[in-house]
């Protein structure tokens, strides 16, 4: 018997945010390696903070609160 996975809109948005955070982390790492990449890295860091804030708000609906900690570059 197979069990169907049903996701609501909030769960789908959480998954989407996690995927976006993965991509933005890759972009930050790439730009930090470039000689003049600081400006773009800061832009991606700002985008990352927004994604994290959006994720925190959604997780509250699941009675979860999280603290985001970035790894040192």
Helix residue ranges, H only, 1-73? 9-33, 38-60
Residue 72: pLDDT band with limits 50, 70, 90? low
CA atoms within 13 A on the CB side of 16: 9
Q: Which pair of tokens denotes residue 4? A: 């169907």
Q: What digits encode the pLDDT tens for the residues 13-70?
A: 999 999 999 999 999 999 999 999 999 999 999 999 999 999 999 999 999 998 878 7
Q: Where are the domains of the chain?
A: 9-60
- Cα separation, 1 vs 11, in Å, equals 24
Using alpha carbons only, give the angle 31, 35, 41 rounded to the nearest 5 degrees.
25
- The pLDDT score that the predictor gives to residue 1 is 47
- The pLDDT score that the predictor gives to residue 57 is 95
């Amino acid at each position: 018997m197979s069990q169907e996975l049903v996701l609501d809109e909030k769960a789908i948005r959480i998954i989407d945010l996690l995927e976006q955070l993965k991509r933005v982390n890759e972009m930050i790492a790439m730009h930090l390696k470039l000689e003049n990449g600081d400006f773009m890295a800061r832009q991606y860091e700002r985008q990352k903070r927004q994604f994290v804030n959006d994720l925190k708000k959604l997780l509250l609906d699941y009675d979860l609160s999280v603290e985001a900690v970035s790894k040192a570059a």
